[in-house]
Amino acid sequence: MMRQLLTLLGFVSALLMPSLAAAGGIILSVRAGDEVHEYTIAELRALGEVEVATSTIWTEGEQAFVGVPLKTLMNGLGVETGIVTASAVNDYAVEIPLTDTDGRAPIIAYERNGQTMSLRDKGPLWVIYPYDADPAYRTEETYSRSIWQLNRLSVQ
């Protein structure tokens, strides 16, 4: 019964996520230690947005993504080391070691080609690397970390 309730809650939150993003609601929850921080798109933008123009294996042609570097987000929380578990609305999760981040990659993208992303369009948040900038970003490991429909991070 509890599992069914959690599945239903996940489904309902997935349906509401696009409207929350459009309305300025919370779209990202970050757990760092005992603290939980919640962010709207406006709050993520205020951290310092960057643009990454790149092609992906999931889209056609070059795409322009805007977001905040993961390293910037983590540094703002005082987190410099550890592993970030990135989870999607459907509970799919990946691990991103902070040792593998730098000032440009990955970013937590909230815009693609000038538009916020809906759940149907891999949004509202998508972990993006500048795949075209360096062959090191075109690996199965990097692609597996490029989680879309991101809604929460947890630092270990």
DSSP for 49-74, written as a single string: -EEEEE--SSSSS-EEEEEEEHHHHH
- Please check the confidence at residue 5 and state whether its pLDDT lies above 50: no
Question: CA 118 → CA 18, 98, 112, 139, distances in Å?
Answer: 5, 27, 10, 26
- Please check the confidence at residue 56 and state whether its pLDDT lies above 50: yes
The Cα 56–Cα 34 span in angstroms is: 35
Give the chain's length.
156
- Please check the confidence at residue 16 and state whether its pLDDT lies above 80: no
Q: What is the pLDDT of residue 137?
A: 94
Taking residues 76-88, what's their average pLDDT? 95
CB atoms within 10 A of CB 103: 12
Q: What is the pLDDT of residue 24?
A: 74
- Please check the confidence at residue 10 and state whether its pLDDT lies above 50: no
Predicted TM-score (pTM) of the model is 0.84
**DSSP type of residue 118:** P
* 19 — pLDDT class (breaks 50, 70, 90): very low
